């Protein structure tokens, strides 16, 4: 896929912006706090309908404005597509080729994007929540049904937690009501776990080979799902359902005391091992960076495998975080294959000699010019 045009209105620090004539590689150069990341974010939001930086849509609207709009035109293998997202106090509305979408899940994945930002280096060594967010965003792009189950699970989880807190405060343990929440929680939770395990299995195949290539065959990368119930390799839905139910019964008393749900995909994790050692604990900073890079490059190939075309690649101030060797590995992967948008504070921090025919845009206080 290829982005031909993007326009912003009242988005972050952009009052009005329209850009076109993009190339295969697009460099956005400017000092910090000028709007480079905001542009990259807008492309990401068009892919997933949500930001990677905030969960509050109102933060995307310019200060003093009551609405924001993002739109783009893209070429896909089946033809051109026009996307539009509008944000206001009433929520957000999504359109594809001018037609409003009844559900956001019908909009997500129309274009696909892989984002690589400095905070993604935390996927390896950061908190489990960072890794769960990584899984949710990437799976949601290629499997809209995953988003449905995730939204329903989160809704039931919140209601179940509220019930546990109220029961604890009242000194009551209404097992009948808890059983009702359990059924709904497990129904959607099992679907999430199944899809995560299958996604990780596919990602493993790509990431292992890429990591082996970057390290000259010296390091083997292994990805593994770390569930809060059951065995990591189990995928049968009926078995997972039973395992989840058993786990909830085992932790029921603790849940009443703590007023929170203690098992389920919201507490699962993803582990990385290099030559048998856990990367988060025993890996050097270089190994952790290489693992994060391998993951992102694997994402590109996995999306291509799933949908039949490559996503766009968004590199937000990340090339300067990589040493020249890893920069080269990354550039050689997307060069002549994936349309790429790169932000940086200056050309001097990039291995620019390897960026063939890159379009260069200069960003200053919410204005962009070539």
Which residues contribute to the annotated binding site for ATP?
Answer: 30-37
Query: Rounded to an integer, what distance in angstroms lies between the CA atom of residue 194 and that of residue 244?
Result: 12
Q: With contact defined as beta carbons under 8 Å apart, do 272 and 291 qualify?
A: yes
Of the chain, the end-to-end C-alpha distance in Å amounts to: 23
Q: With contact defined as beta carbons under 8 Å apart, do 314 and 4 qualify?
A: no
Q: With contact defined as beta carbons under 8 Å apart, do 104 and 92 qualify?
A: yes
Q: With contact defined as beta carbons under 8 Å apart, do 261 and 308 qualify?
A: no
- Centroid of chain to Cα 324: 26
Query: Rounded to an integer, what distance in angstroms lies between the CA atom of residue 220 and that of residue 208?
Result: 6
Q: With contact defined as beta carbons under 8 Å apart, do 43 and 60 qualify?
A: no
- Encode burial over 41-60: b for 16+ CB neighbours within 10 A, e otherwise: bbbbbbbbbbbbbeeebeeb
Q: Is residue 361 helix, strand or coil?
A: strand
Residues making up the binding site: 30-37
């Amino acid at each position: 896929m290829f982005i031909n045009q993007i326009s912003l209105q009242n988005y972050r620090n952009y009052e009005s912006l329209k850009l076109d004539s993009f190339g295969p590689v697009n460099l956005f150069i400017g000092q910090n706090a000028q709007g480079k990341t905001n542009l990259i974010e807008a492309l990401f939001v068009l892919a997933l309908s949500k930001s990677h930086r905030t969960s509050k849509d109102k933060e995307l609207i310019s200060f003093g404005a009551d609405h924001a709009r993002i739109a783009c035109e893209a070429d896909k293998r089946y033809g051109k597509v026009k996307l539009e997202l509008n944000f206001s106090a009433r929520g957000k509305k999504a359109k594809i080729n001018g037609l409003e979408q009844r559900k956001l899940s019908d909009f997500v994945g129309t274009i696909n994007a892989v984002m690589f930002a400095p905070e993604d280096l935390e996927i390896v060594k950061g908190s489990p929540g960072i890794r769960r967010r990584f899984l949710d965003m990437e799976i949601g792009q290629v499997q809209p049904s995953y988003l449905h189950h995730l939204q329903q699970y989160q809704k039931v989880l919140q209601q179940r937690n509220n019930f546990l807190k109220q029961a604890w405060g009242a000194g009551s343990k209404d097992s009948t009501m808890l059983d009702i929440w359990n059924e709904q929680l497990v129904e959607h939770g099992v679907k999430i776990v199944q899809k995560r395990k299958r996604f990780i299995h596919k990602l493993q195949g790509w990431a292992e080979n890429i990591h082996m290539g970057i390290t000259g065959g010296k390091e083997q990368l292994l990805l593994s799902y770390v569930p809060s119930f059951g065995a990591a390799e189990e995928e049968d839905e009926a078995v997972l359902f039973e395992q989840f139910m058993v786990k909830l019964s085992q932790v029921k008393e603790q849940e009443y005391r703590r007023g929170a749900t203690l098992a389920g995909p919201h507490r699962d994790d993803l582990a990385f091992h290099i030559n048998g050692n856990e990367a988060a604990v025993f890996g050097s900073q270089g190994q952790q960076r290489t693992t994060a890079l391998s993951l992102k490059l694997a994402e590109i190939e996995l999306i291509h495998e799933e949908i039949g075309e490559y996503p766009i690649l968004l590199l937000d101030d990340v090339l300067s975080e990589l040493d020249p060797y890893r920069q080269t590995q990354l550039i050689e992967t997307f060069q002549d294959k994936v349309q790429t948008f790169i932000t940086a504070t200056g050309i001097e921090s990039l291995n620019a000699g390897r960026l063939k025919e890159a379009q260069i845009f200069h960003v200053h206080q919410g204005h962009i010019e070539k």
